[in-house]
Structure 1
Amino acid sequence: MGDSVADSVVDAKPDPAGGTFTVEVCYATSLREYLRELTVEQGCTIEQAIIRSGVLEAIPGIDLALQPVGLYGKKKPLDTVLRPRDRIEIYRPLVADPKESRRKRAEKKAQPT
């Protein structure tokens, strides 16, 4: 099959003794990065892992009711059950609307100099 990241995630097995496995929680601002690996038990959700990771205390202002979360760049609901080696990402609000930014750049480019 290959040695892709997706293959390694699918092949990962939880610890049979305790039914636990590791996941990562990450969040980044323009000034700071937060990345924490933690051990969770089978059935743990994204929300539970985020709370256990300590990111909400370490970086005040994260609001899970407003900010989307996901796994490996794909948005997921907070009640998503985790799998071994999942990377939970908390997404920041956009500073600018990408469509509006592109429109402004196109207008500026079209103006004669």
Structure 2
Amino acid sequence: MNEVMIGISLAYAPSSTEQWYLEIEVPRGSSIFMALQLSGWLQKDRELAQWCQQHQDAVMVDKKDWRVGVFSQKQPLSYELAASDRIEIYRPLHIDPMNKRKKRAAL
């Protein structure tokens, strides 16, 4: 019996100078968490792996501190993926973007 696979993509910029992009196939019914495991990214990024472990069972999305989404919509790690979905991983902000723009405008 063959498992039906769907194609998805993953995008992540772990730093301002580094970007990861990957297209993979996952079994239909896979969650965001399962796709991150299959991608190997949790092994490459300890901080992301730790965050995923802490939030794996969360049903509600904390809009401020949430780190994953699909097509710019924050989703729980249990979100069931559809064909052609793009998982996006958001890194925490260390500088408020509004303050950064104000400082740049003042120069």
TM-score (norm 1): 0.67
Separation in 1 of the partners of 2:44 and 2:11? 12
- CA positional deviation for 1:18: 3.2
Q: Structure 2: which amino acid aligns with 1:21?
A: I
Is 1:52–2:38 an aligned residue pair? yes
Separation in 2 of the partners of 1:67 and 1:54? 20
Q: Aligned-residue CA RMSD in angstroms? A: 2.1
TM-score (norm 2): 0.71
Match of 1:26 in 2: 11
Aligned length: 92
Structure 1 moving runs of 4+ over 3 Å? 99-106
Match of 1:13 in 2: none
CA distance 1:98–1:82, shift in 2 (3 Å): same
- CA positional deviation for 1:102: 4.9
Unaligned runs of 5+ in 2: 56-64
- CA positional deviation for 1:35: 1.4
Match of 1:74 in 2: 73
Percent same amino acid at aligned positions?
35
Query: What do residues 44-84 of structure 1 show as CA deviations (whole Å, max 9, x unaligned)?
Result: 00111011101111233222346520111111111110000
The higher-RCO structure (CA 8 Å, 6+ apart) is: 2
Query: What do residues 78-104 of structure 1 show as CA deviations (whole Å, max 9, x unaligned)?
Result: 111000011101100012123444565
Q: Structure 2: which amino acid aligns with 1:18?
A: E
Larger radius of gyration: 1
